[in-house]
Chain A
Amino acid sequence: MATIVIAADGSEAAHQAAELGFEIARAEGDSVVLVTVWDILRADFGVPVHMIDRDFLDAERQWGEKVLKDAAGHAAQFGIEAETELVRGEPASEICRIAQERGARMIVVGTHGWGAVRSLLLGSVTLRVLHHAPCAVLTGPPGSPTPAEEPGDVASQG
């Protein structure tokens, strides 16, 4: 039995990717750890950290809790009793750290989350996870992106 770490950020991409992860876990009898990383930087308005009040921090943490709770409910639909980890920090590092600690055989991430640039199909968190992962990384599925969501350079590349 192995462990699969699934990143949850409340996005549709992560939701779809998680389903794949759940299916694999169910087929292989793997255990699942759901990870949500929250940080004030998620909002990214350039607000200095010291100016952010406690309520704002609490709201962010509560957002994380809700995302994680939803993800656990999603796992339950697949008959999986997932462990959950809510951590604060830089998402990619935290996801990789947890995968390392758990000796995970796979990390599952969506191809893009809630990054500021929605047109960037491949999220920066996903890219960073791929760079630093101690194990295999399953991304996707990409769903059915509208033409507007596809990177402009793809069409021109033969």
Chain B
Amino acid sequence: MFSKIVLALDGSEPSDRVIPVAKDLAAPGSARIDIVHVRELIVGRAGGQTARANEDELEVRVRAQAKALSDAGYDTHLHIETTVGGGPAHVIAALADKIGADVIVVGTRGHTPVAGLLLGSVTQRLLHIARCPVLAIPPQYERSAAREGGKAVAAAG
């Protein structure tokens, strides 16, 4: 269906649900999937450090997800970008603009540190600034994961 998909992955669990959905939407044989993972840096008195303590681990996971998509025959491109002081959504939207993406696929979180904010802040900002459609996958969505692809399914099936 879509031939250029931007897949925003942060290596956390919701992203694992995002991959099968992207596969579902990808035009068979011809789709290009651009995975973007944004490293957020916080610059403080101690110098720069990643916003997420387990950033390296998350990045390893994203690389594995990219490889899995590539092995499954998708024209996969991995972009690992770094941003200082927030703004992953802008990085994602800019990439989507650059490659003329048909859609951005992104997972939303069940909760964030900000009380009452259920929707991930990155997703929310993306919805404001993206110039292409955004497909948001909520954490409660599991149907596609059960249908095909994904390590969890391979292990279960």
Tell me how far the C-beta of A18 lies from the nearest C-beta in chain B, rounded to whole angstroms: 12
A151-B1 in contact (CB<8A): no
A7 interface residue, CB < 8 Å from B? no
A142 interface residue, CB < 8 Å from B? yes
Q: Chain A, interface size: which category?
A: 20 to 34
For B21, B87, B135, B140, the residue with the greatest tally of chain A CB atoms inside 10 Å of its CB is: B135
B141-A141 in contact (CB<8A): no
Tell me how far the C-beta of A56 lies from the nearest C-beta in chain B, rounded to whole angstroms: 33
Interface residue from B132, B138, B143 paired with A105 (Cβ < 8 Å): B143
Q: 1/0 contact trace for B113-142 toward A, CB 8 Å?
A: 000001100011101111111111110110
Chain B residues bordering chain A, tally (CB within 8 A): 32
B144 interface residue, CB < 8 Å from A? yes
A130-B1 in contact (CB<8A): no
A136-B21 in contact (CB<8A): yes
When C-beta atoms are compared, the residue in chain A nearest to B85 turns out to be: A158
Residue ranges of B at the interface with A (Cβ–Cβ < 8 Å): 1, 21, 24-25, 27, 85-87, 90, 103, 108, 118-119, 123-125, 127-138, 140-141, 143-144
- Excluding A105-B143, A139-B133, 15 further A-B contacts by CB distance (< 8 Å) are A20-B133, A106-B135, A111-B127, A121-B128, A130-B127, A133-B136, A133-B138, A133-B140, A135-B141, A136-B141, A139-B136, A154-B128, A157-B90, A158-B85, A158-B90
